[in-house]
Chains A and B, each alone.
Chain A
Amino acid sequence: MWTYLIRRLLYAIPILIGVNVITFALFFFVNSPDDIANIHLGGKYVTEEAKKDWKMAHGYHAPLFFNATASGVNTLTDTIFFQKSVKLFMFDFGVSDSGRDIIQAISERYLPSLLIAIPTLLLGLLVDITVAGLLAFFLGTYLDTLGIFLCVVLISISALFYIIVGQYLFAKILLWFPISGYVGGFDAIKFLILPIIIGVVAGIGSGARWYRTLFIEELHKDYVRTAEAKGLSRLQVMFKHILRNALIPILTGVVAILPLLFMGSLLMESFFGIPGLGSYTIDAIREQDFAIVRVMVFIGTALYILGLILTDISYVMVDPRVRLT
Chain B
Amino acid sequence: MNRIVQVVYVFLILIGLGLLTGCNDDIPWNDPYPYENPKANTLYSAFNEQPKHLDPARSYSSAEWPIIGQIYEPPLQYHYLKRPYELEPLTATQLPVVKYFDKQDHEVSEDAALESIAYSVYEIQIKPGIYYEPHPAFVNKYLNLTPEEARKYRKLSDFKETATRELIGEDYIYQIKRLAEPTLSSPIYGVMSRYIEGLKELRETLVASGIERVEKDLRNFSLTGVEEVDRYTYRIRIKGKYPEFRYWLAMPFFSPVPWEVARFYAEPNLNTHNITLDWYPVGTGPYKLTENNPERRMVLVKNPQFRGETYPTVGAQGDKELGLLEDAGKPIPMLDKQIYTLEREDIPYWNKFLQGYYDVSGIQSDNFGSSIQFNPQGGILLTEKLNEKGIRLQTSIAPIVYYWGFNMLDDVVGGNTESARKLRQAIAMAFDVEEFITIFLNGRGQVANGPIPTDVFGFEMQPALKQKNGEVAKELIKEAGYPNGLTLYFDAITSGNPDEIAIDAWLRKQFAKIGVQMIARNTDYNRFQEKIKNGSAQVFFWGWNADYPDPENFLSLFYGPNGSVKFSGENTANYSNAEYDSLFEKMRVLKDGPERLTIIQKMVEILDKDAPWVWGFYPKTFTLYHQWTHITKPNGVANNTLKYVRLDPNLRAEKRELWNKIIVWPIVLMMIILLLLILPAIYRYWRREHKGIGGI
Interface residues of A (CB under 8 A from B): 30-32, 35, 38-50, 53-54, 56-57, 98-101, 104-105, 108-109, 119, 122-123, 125-126, 134, 137-141, 143, 164, 167, 171-183, 186-187, 189-191, 193, 228, 233-235, 243-244, 247, 270-273, 275, 279-280, 283, 287
Contact = CB atoms under 8 A, between A and B. Distances in A.
Contact of B348 (A101, A105, A119, A179): A179
6 contacts: A45-B188, A47-B190, A178-B352, A189-B14, A193-B18, A273-B344
Given A47-B568, A179-B351, A190 B53 contact: no
Nearest to A282: B344
Contacts of A177: 29-30
Interface stretch (B274-282, B426-434, B586-594): B274-282
A167 B15 contact: no
A48 B29 contact: no
B35 A48 contact: no
Nearest to A134: B681
A273 B341 contact: yes
Contacts of B8: 122-123, 126
A109 B21 contact: no
Contacts of A126: 4-5, 8
A143 B679 CA distance: 11
Interface in B45-83: 50, 52-53, 60-61
Contact of A141 (B7, B34, B347, B696): B696
A239 to B, nearest CB: 10
Nearest to B34: A187
Interface string B14-44: 1101110110000011111111000000000
A183 B299 CA distance: 13
A42 B55 CA distance: 14
B187 A167 contact: no
A275 B341 CA distance: 11
A47 B61 CA distance: 17
B11 A190 contact: no
Contacts of B159: none
A143 B688 CA distance: 14
A179 B570 CA distance: 43
Contacts of B29: 175-177, 190
A182 B21 contact: no
Given A56-B182, A143-B684, A189-B15, A138 B32 contact: no
Nearest to B4: A122
A30 B524 contact: yes
Contacts of A40: 52, 185
A270 B348 CA distance: 11
Closest 10 CB pairs of A and B: A189-B18, A47-B190, A180-B348, A181-B32, A35-B526, A275-B295, A178-B32, A98-B52, A187-B34, A54-B185
Nearest to A177: B30
Contacts of B293: 275
Given A101-B274, A119-B11, A171 B30 contact: yes
B221 interface: no
Given A44-B570, A45-B187, A273-B344, A186 B18 contact: yes
Contacts of B526: 30-32, 35, 38-39
Contacts of A182: 296
